[in-house]
Structure 1
Amino acid sequence: MFINNANCDIYIGKAAGKHLISDIRNARKSIKIVSPYLSASLVKELIKLKSKKLNIELITSDDIEDFTGDKEKNIHKLIIQNKTPNSFAKKWIAFSLITIFSIIGVLATMLFAFYETEDIRISFGFIAVIILCFVYRFFNKKSKSSKHNYYKYSQLFPFKVYMSPYKSKLSDSFIHSKIYLIDDKIAYLGSLNFTVSGLKNNYETSIRTKESKAIKEIKKEINQLFHHSNLHERDIQLWGAELYEQSSEKNKTIFIKKIV
């Protein structure tokens, strides 16, 4: 993409991100961000804006600051776990409980009958108890082997996390662009990552434009990158299971193709 003779403002230095964060906070309709690196506190800003019904789209890489860190993990809040109980597993559990109560009932009846009659033939009732024990073992085995819950993962707002070439052999491209489109009216391009250090501490460069022709082309470029990039991305289902640490049901989680 090449845009010639576009009017723009230029920001250079440590305060290069001051106007950007101000425009993001004052957005009225939509925010689209392309940034390979993110800070948890700035993701929190996006979560707040989402609560105000803004349309947000995010494109980033798998080098996310709070994914492996020990601090506040706002990235996790972008992935929502949806749990659906497995009705078949519940049935197996119910059958197991019914069988247990049946065994107890048969034994109690046998003891009472023997107490009343002292008839040795009552001991044949143990055949029924043994059969019920095998039935219980079958139902219990089915219950333990069944997935108790099915999990799907959805996104708080649409985002793509593309894989870094030095983390995966599947990709040879790295999303290194920093692009911000606010309300489809204001665009920022430059070296600024959506990080605290990028916006406040680092020596950065950034241009800001409101020119309609440039905005139109930048919007088209973001849409192309979001929907038709052909780059390898993190699977939301696998990543969601990893983030939620389903250790107790590690083998009971099904992974379904992306639903967003």
Structure 2
Amino acid sequence: MKAHIERYTFYKLLLHTMQAAIKEATVHMGTNAGKQLLEDIRSARHEVSVLSPNLNTEQMRLLLDLHQQNIKVTLLTTLCQNMIGNLEDYDFRVELIRQYKRKDSEAEQKKESLKDLIKFLAIALVSFIVASVYTYFYYYTYALICFIGLFLIAALVIYAAATELSRTSIYRYTYKTTFPLKIFIDPQNQKIRNSSKHFIHAKAFVIDQKIAYLGSADFTCSSLNSNYESIIRIEDQAAIQELLSEINRLYKSSSEDMDFVDIEEWGRMIYDEPKE
């Protein structure tokens, strides 16, 4: 009993000390430490920034719902272990990445030119065949050789033109994320080629540039609702702006020590690109 009281007194003292050290801050510790964080995120009116190495499907859908409500969402997360874009057997890439296609007028003109060339050479082939048969019956040996040579050249050119035609698409495909998103790769991830040396382990949340959260909790149901976590709620504007600057710096980072997912490469993995 005495040990329990001493432990309780220690945690109470720790909370008071942390609150006194941080201006305009509230400390949440325990198995339901993320309750206020979730309430503030759901009540966001303008923007939400999330830095969390781990997510689950429910939280990902919450961010997508916020985006649908015209709330600006920025997400920085990590592909851990052997994930390639799945959360709880759900592939979230199709909702986070959109395919866009535009018609390439130069490619369209090139394709039409190749079609016209093939038509012309096809007529030429027929003419060479007729001429070869004619010269064969009249024993014009040199002429026969010439027509056969022209036939072979025309056939090769048709083959090359047809190959190029099949490779030429009149559409160009690009890929964009549904909202600002950067996915770093865990150095231990063996399913995605990467050169990461560092694992992003920090957790931070900023709501409407007015409230920020820092602590041990990931953006997962277990962390926010059942794990014993510590979370600090900050309203100090100077600290929030500094935190946003760091999140923005990390979002724009191109450090070789922290590899991240190539969205264009992911897009080509999950969407077809018809030649047309």
| TM-score range normalised by the length of the shorter chain | 0.7 to 0.9
Q: Give the Å deviation of 1:220.
A: 2.3
- Match of 1:194, SS? coil
CA contact (8 A) 1:66 1:74 kept: no
Identity of aligned residues (%): 30
Q: Give the Å deviation of 1:92.
A: 6.0
**Gap change, CA 1:170 and 1:138, over 3 Å in 2:** closer
Residue from 100, 103, 119 that aligns with 1:82? 100
Q: Does 2:33 match 1:16?
A: yes
Q: Does 2:212 match 1:187?
A: yes
The structure whose residues are more often helix, as a share, is: 2
The letter of the residue matching 1:37 is: N
Partner of 2:59: 42
CA contact (8 A) 2:57 2:87 kept: no
Residue from 117, 136, 139 that aligns with 2:161? 139
The letter of the residue matching 1:172 is: K
Q: Does 2:169 match 1:151?
A: no
More off after superposition, 133-142 vs 213-222: 133-142
Q: Give the Å deviation of 1:170.
A: 2.2
1:151-230 equivalences in 2 (<5 Å):
151-167=173-189, 170-228=195-253, 230=255
Q: TM-score, normalised by structure 1?
A: 0.72
CA contact (8 A) 1:40 1:66 kept: no
**Gap change, CA 1:218 and 1:138, over 3 Å in 2:** closer
CA contact (8 A) 2:48 2:207 kept: yes
More off after superposition, 69-78 vs 156-165: 69-78
Q: Give the Å deviation of 1:188.
A: 0.8
CA contact (8 A) 1:92 1:143 kept: no
Q: Does 2:259 match 1:237?
A: no
Q: Give the Å deviation of 1:23.
A: 0.9
Q: Give the Å deviation of 1:19.
A: 1.5
In 1: Cα distance, 2:56 partner to 2:113 partner: 46
The letter of the residue matching 2:72 is: N
CA contact (8 A) 2:77 2:184 kept: yes
More off after superposition, 29-38 vs 61-70: 61-70
In 2: Cα distance, 1:53 partner to 1:66 partner: 28
More off after superposition, 237-246 vs 206-215: 237-246
In 1: Cα distance, 2:121 partner to 2:88 partner: 46
- Match of 1:36, SS? coil
Residue from 27, 43, 47 that aligns with 2:44? 27
Q: Give the Å deviation of 1:245.
A: 6.6
More off after superposition, 65-74 vs 34-43: 65-74
The letter of the residue matching 2:30 is: G
**Gap change, CA 1:129 and 1:239, over 3 Å in 2:** same
**Gap change, CA 1:219 and 1:199, over 3 Å in 2:** same
- Match of 2:249, SS? helix
- Please provide the CA RMSD for this pair: 3.9
In 2: Cα distance, 1:130 partner to 1:229 partner: 53
Greater C-alpha radius of gyration:
2
